[in-house]
Amino acid sequence: MSDVHSEELLAQVAALPALPGVYRYFDAQDALLYVGKALNLKRRVSSYFQKNHGGTRIGHMVSKIVRMETTVVRSEAEALLLENNLIKTLNPKFNILFRDDKSYPYLKITGTPAASGNAPGQLFPRMAYYRGAVDKRHRYFGPYPSAWAVKETIQLLQKVFRLRTCEDTVFANRTRPCLLFQIKRCTGPCVDLISPEAYAADVSHAEALLRGETQEVLQAMEARMMAHSDKLEFEQAAEVRNQIQALSRVLHQQSIEIADDKDVDILAVRVQGGRACVNLAMVRGGRHLGDRPYFPVHVEDAAAVFEEEGGEGAEVFDENAPARPVRRVEVLVLEAFIAQHYIGVPVPPVLVTSEPVDKALLEALGDQAGVRVTAIHQPREQRRAWLDMAQKNADLQLARLLAEEGSQQARTRALVEALDLPPEDIDQLTIECFDISHTAGESTQASCVVFHHHKMQSSEYRRYKIEGITGGDDYAAMRQVLTRRYSKVAEAAREAGGIDFAANPAPGGDEPPKPKGVARLPDLVLIDGGKGQVGVAREVFTALGLDLTRIVGVEKGEGRKVGLEELVFADGREKVYLGKDSAALMLVAQIRDEAHRFAITGMRAARAKVRVGGGQLEEIAGVGPKKRARLLQRFGGVRGVASASVEDLVTVDGISRELAEEIYRALR
């Protein structure tokens, strides 16, 4: 194995210290292959280059290594945390990776208790759904697994404690209570129907309930009711009694546990067919908030590398301890999730897991979070019920994913066969689809959606604002968008000597080095239209010197009925009718419909902005996207901003008096 590596790399390996650290392997294109950790860097890394791994996956990986980086750390915990930070941020091919889909939502209670301020938002804090960076001026509860869980909790608290949910600007300008007061979901603090002291008590009880202090809340409310009764304040005592009854109903309906478990995460893993699912269920304040599935990538490669190493790997830190049994793939997946997920998310003190978890990992998490973290592998009673539910959901979610992927792969293969495309690697088949949308020529928008790896890639979608054409001229709009999209591709191809990397992969299936920032010509360019639109596409591709065989038009069938569409080609081939039950046509229709949806939503947004004057804010110097969003949110739209005074505008975060005066002048 060492024959394929440079002397410089082998000398670097030989010079490694016998210290704990993290190592990283790179290939010839400087792409990161693998991140590992070791108690003894020299011994661990040398084992890769001294053994003959043959044609295994690890052998394939080691043969690609041309460069290495190492970082020496002080302890096992540092190595664990650094390794998973690097995996999460750098996406190596041979490590299990959990991608973040979005941040977690929180329930926010604004402001501070009544004793610390006199502003409305401080005297009468509001509850709100929140997602984003934490502001120390407010209090946050969560995280919650979904927006639905936050909103359901807000409704629960409204039923019992009747805290306000309105914006501060609405609150400050009310002259009579709103509908929420009428249906007994708010105590009407906007018109002084409750004292700040009584409202603060409700806020305090709501926060205690969110922390899981259910018994304490009930006892405090009972004491408050009796105190009112002793003072002969029977109306106030009746109000508190009604709150106690409402809380009791909620506890019964929501099955909130009055137990020692306040904050617990339940983690169940399922691996099948080369894919894996980790189902995370959250219990906060003794209340089960729901769950969320996670699907890692690179499971097969990472598991194969670990297995071919004999299960030892860099994860073994105590070299004097007895040899550990080879760990199952489920354990590797679960530990990878725990190590990566809790980098940016608070870790609760108790984890209930479907697989045993390495103590070193838990200690590292505890050191990072400043709390003692315990993992329970074989729970009992209520915890067992939670884990069984999470395990069942993991099984269902993975079965759904495999079914969806199977059907999508079948559709992709059917399209490849129908169009006689090269069948070597259907995973890499890339399709871009274009559509034009406008309303009687107004606000013309073009959309480009992208499909590869058997699914739509929304992060690669693009919208194009079409200008300089006669309103309603779809051919001119299509010519403009195709020219803008592919002129850089043509230029890059000319500079590379006419080589089209997308059409000519390197031997062995390896993709050639991709110049950063350069778009690629897809395998198929779908045009939502018949002969006319395809003719425009042919003209653009001919002028740019691009391959005409990639252009396919989707022509409506007789009576424009779904399932009767025909495919039209730019290179002179005859039309193709796939049949209404064809899997290939289903994929074409899916991509075409997504392009249509994306174009329409963009056109409607542009049209609405023009009609309500939304563009006026964009024209004001110093008002960027963030400030514009804050202004629109605070005042409910452009008309609200236009009617606001300079003093009102200054209260928006980031708006100085000078800028407020400029906005005031520009909108009047």
Which of residues 307 and 520 earns the better pLDDT score? 520
Q: Which residues contact 227 (CB under 8 A, 6 or more apart)?
A: none
Return the exposure string of 597-631: e unless at least 16 CB atoms fall within 10 Å of the residue's CB, then b: ebbbebbeebbebeeeebebbeebeebeeebbeeb
Q: Which CATH architecture has domain 613-666?
A: Orthogonal Bundle (1.10)
Tens digit of pLDDT for each residue in 413-446? Answer: 888 888 887 766 788 899 999 998 876 666 788 9
Look at the domain 2-90 and name its fold. GIY-YIG endonuclease (3.40.1440)
- DSSP code of residue 548: G
Which of residues 266 and 426 earns the better pLDDT score? 266
**Domain 264-318+325-399 carries which CATH code?**
3.30.420
Percent of the chain predicted with pLDDT > 70: 83
Please give the CATH superfamily to which domain 426-505+517-609 belongs.
Answer: UvrC, RNAse H endonuclease domain (3.30.420.340)
Tell me the pLDDT band of 505, cut-offs 50, 70 and 90: very low
Handedness of CA 414, 416, 417, 419 (dihedral sign): positive
Tell me the pLDDT band of 241, cut-offs 50, 70 and 90: confident
Q: How many CB atoms lie within 10 A of CB 643?
A: 12
Look at 205-209, 211-215, 325-329, 660-664 and tell me which has the smallest mean pLDDT.
325-329
pLDDT at 449: 94
Which of residues 406 and 647 earns the better pLDDT score? 647
- According to DSSP, the residues that pair with 305 across neighbouring strands are none
Q: How many CB atoms lie within 10 A of CB 380?
A: 9
Q: Is the pLDDT of residue 511 over 60?
A: no
pLDDT at 423: 63
- Nearest alpha-carbon partner for 502 in 488, 516, 494, 512: 512
Q: Is the pLDDT of residue 623 over 70?
A: yes
Tens digit of pLDDT for each residue in 360-414? Answer: 888 888 888 788 889 998 888 888 988 999 999 999 988 888 887 778 888 888 8
Highest mean pLDDT among 76-90, 138-152, 521-535, 551-565: 521-535
Contacts 24+ apart (CB under 8 A), 478-481: 478/434, 478/436, 478/446, 478/527, 478/529, 478/533, 478/536, 478/537, 479/536, 479/539, 479/540, 480/446, 481/434, 481/436, 481/446, 481/448
Q: Which residues contact 133 (CB under 8 A, 6 or more apart)?
A: none
Structure tokens at 491: 């230029």
**Helix 359-369 with 329-341: angle, nearest 10 deg:** 10
- Nearest alpha-carbon partner for 210 in 246, 158, 262: 262
Q: Is the pLDDT of residue 314 over 90?
A: no
Structure tokens at 346: 């608070």
Q: Is the pLDDT of residue 10 over 70?
A: yes
CA 135 to chain centre: 21
pTM exceeds 0.75: no
Q: Where are the domains of the chain?
A: 2-90, 264-318+325-399, 426-505+517-609, 613-666
Angstrom distances, CA of residue 538 to CA of 57, 324, 433, 545: 44, 63, 15, 10
pLDDT at 441: 64
Look at residue 445 and give its three-state secondary structure. strand
Average pLDDT of the chain is 80
CA-to-CA distance for 428 and 413, rounded, in angstroms? 11
Tens digit of pLDDT for each residue in 605-622? Answer: 665 554 444 456 766 777
Look at 101-110, 186-195, 541-550 and tell me which has the smallest mean pLDDT.
101-110
Q: Which amino acid is at 616?
A: Q
Contacts 24+ apart (CB under 8 A), 455-459: 455/408, 456/590, 456/591, 456/594
Tens digit of pLDDT for each residue in 343-356? Answer: 778 888 899 999 99
Return the exposure string of 149-170: e unless at least 16 CB atoms fall within 10 Å of the residue's CB, then b: bbeebbebbbbbbbbbbbbbbe
CA-to-CA distance for 102 and 598, rounded, in angstroms? 21
Tell me the pLDDT band of 461, cut-offs 50, 70 and 90: very high
CA-to-CA distance for 248 and 239, rounded, in angstroms? 14
Which of residues 449 and 4 earns the better pLDDT score? 449
Q: Is the pLDDT of residue 519 over 70?
A: no
Fold: same for 2-90 and 264-318+325-399: no
